Amino acid sequence: MKIDEILNQSPVVPVIVIDQLEQAVPLAQALVDGGLPVLEVTLRTDVAMQAIHEISQAVTGAIVGVGTVTRAEQFQQSIEAGARFAVSPGLTDTLLAASRTADLPFLPGVFSPSEVMRAHEHGFKALKLFPAQQAGGIGMLKAMHGPLPEIKFCPTGGIGAENFIDFLKLPNVACVGGSWVCPANAVQNQDWDQISQLAADVRSALE
C-alpha cells in the first residue's frame, strides 16, 4: 500500500515505545484487537527493530511501521525487519535521498509551511505534522488547508483522548498519532485488556 492508503486504515496510529521485547507482540495484538491496526514502533530503544520483526511475523492484521527514522541506513534495516512504512520527525536531504531508493512508504515530518511546501515539491502529499501542538495545532492545520488543500496530515505530539476528535474533523487530517492508547504504566503492568479497551474507545467515539 501507498502511505496515504496506510493512513486511511486507522483514525489513530499508536506511537509505541518497546522497552522489553516480550511486550511487543501482546501489545500489538491488544491494539489490533481493539480496532487500531496501523502501528508505529519508534526507534527509541535497542529492541525496536526486533520488535517490529516479531510483530510483523506474529500479529495478523497489523500494519507495523517504523518511527523516529533519522538515518539513511534505517530504511533498509526497517525493510529487513518487516516494516510496512517509515515515519521520521523531519525531512533532511539525506533522508529524502534514501527514501527515493527504498521500497518503503514514507511519512516525513514537517513543522512549518515552508517545510510542507518543500516536501510537496518532492512529491509528498501525506506528511506528519510534528510536534503538532507546538507547531500550532488545529489553528495551523486550518491555516495550511487554504493554500495547500491537497496535503493530508497525520499530526502527532500533544494529541490525546481529549482532543483527537477535534483534529480528525479537519478536512486535511487523515489520521492522528498518539501514545495515549498504549500508556507506559499499562504496558509495564502488561494490562493488555486496558489497552484493547482504549483502542476500542477510539472507534466508539467516532461512531
DSSP letter string, the chain: --HHHHHTT-SEEEEE--SSGGGHHHHHHHHHHTT--EEEEES-STTHHHHHHHHHHH-TT-EEEEE---STHHHHHHHHHT-S-EE-SS--HHHHHHHHHSSS-EE-EE-SHHHHHHHHHTT--EEEETTTTTTTHHHHHHHHHTT-TT-EE--BSS--TTTHHHHHTSTTB--EEESTTS-HHHHHTT-HHHHHHHHHHHHHHT-
* CA 8 to chain CA mean position, Å: 12
Quote the pLDDT of residue 202.
98
Q: Is 199 in contact with 34 (CB distance < 8 Å)?
A: yes
CATH number of 157's domain = 3.20.20.70
Active site positions, annotated: 40, 128
Q: How confident is the model at residue 8 (pLDDT cuts 50, 70, 90)?
A: very high
- pLDDT tens per residue, range 98-148: 999 999 999 999 999 999 999 999 999 999 999 999 999 999 999 999 999
Q: Which residues, listed in sequence order, are joined to residue 41 by a DSSP beta bridge?
A: 16, 66
Average pLDDT in the 34-40 region?
A: 98
pTM: 0.97
> 175: domain range?
3-205
In the chain, the number of structural domains is 1
Share of the chain above pLDDT 70, in %: 100
Quote the pLDDT of residue 122.
97
Quote the pLDDT of residue 76.
97
Amino acid at residue number 128: K
